[in-house]
Structure 1
Amino acid sequence: MLVQQRQPFKSGWPNMWDLTVGGSAISGDTSQMAAQRELLEELGLDIDFTGIRPHLTIPFEIGFDDYYLVEREVDLTTLTLQEEEVQCVAWMTEEAIVNGIEEGWFIGYHESLIRLLFALRHSYGAHNEA
Structure 2
Amino acid sequence: MEIWDVYDKDRKLTGKQMRRGDAFEQGDFHLVIHVCLFNQQGEMLIQQRQPDKDDWQNMWDLTVGGSALAGETSQQAAEREVEEEIGLVLNLQKLRPSVTVNFEYGFDDYYVIETDVDLPKLPLPTEEVSQVKWAAKEDIFHLISEGQFIPYHESLISLLFDTRHMIGAHKN
The one-letter code of the counterpart of 1:47 is: L
Percent identity between matched residues is: 58
Matched, 1:40 2:83: yes
Matched, 1:74 2:74: no
Secondary structure in 2 matching 1:68:
strand
Distance between the aligned counterparts of 2:171 and 2:130, measured in 1?
A: 36
1:23 to 43, 48, 66: 66
- Kept in 1, the 8 Å contact 2:125–2:131? The answer is no
Segments of structure 2 that go 5 or more residues without pairing to the other structure are 1-43
Instruction: After the TM superposition, list the runs of 4 or more consecutive aligned residues in structure 1 that deviate by more than 6 angstroms.
Output: none
The structure richer in helix per residue is 1
The one-letter code of the counterpart of 1:91 is: W
Secondary structure in 2 matching 1:23:
strand
Q: Post-superposition shift, 1:28?
A: 1.3
Distance between the aligned counterparts of 1:82 and 1:23, measured in 2?
A: 17
Secondary structure in 2 matching 1:91:
strand
TM-score (normalizing by structure 1)? 0.95
Q: Deviations over 1:41-88 (max 9, x none)?
A: 111100100111111001112111110011111010111236321000
Higher alpha-carbon Rg: 2
Distance between the aligned counterparts of 2:48 and 2:147, measured in 1?
A: 13
TM-score (normalizing by structure 2)? 0.72
Structure 1 residue aligned with 2:35:
none
What does 1:42-121 align with in structure 2 at a 5 Å threshold?
42-81=85-124, 83-121=126-164
Secondary structure in 1 matching 2:156:
helix
Structure 2 residue aligned with 1:5:
48
The one-letter code of the counterpart of 2:53 is: K
Segments of structure 1 that go 5 or more residues without pairing to the other structure are none
The structure richer in strand per residue is 2
Distance between the aligned counterparts of 1:28 and 1:64, measured in 2?
A: 16
- Kept in 1, the 8 Å contact 2:141–2:154? The answer is yes
- Kept in 2, the 8 Å contact 1:56–1:66? The answer is yes
Q: Larger relative CO (CA 8 A, sep 6+): 1 or 2?
A: 1
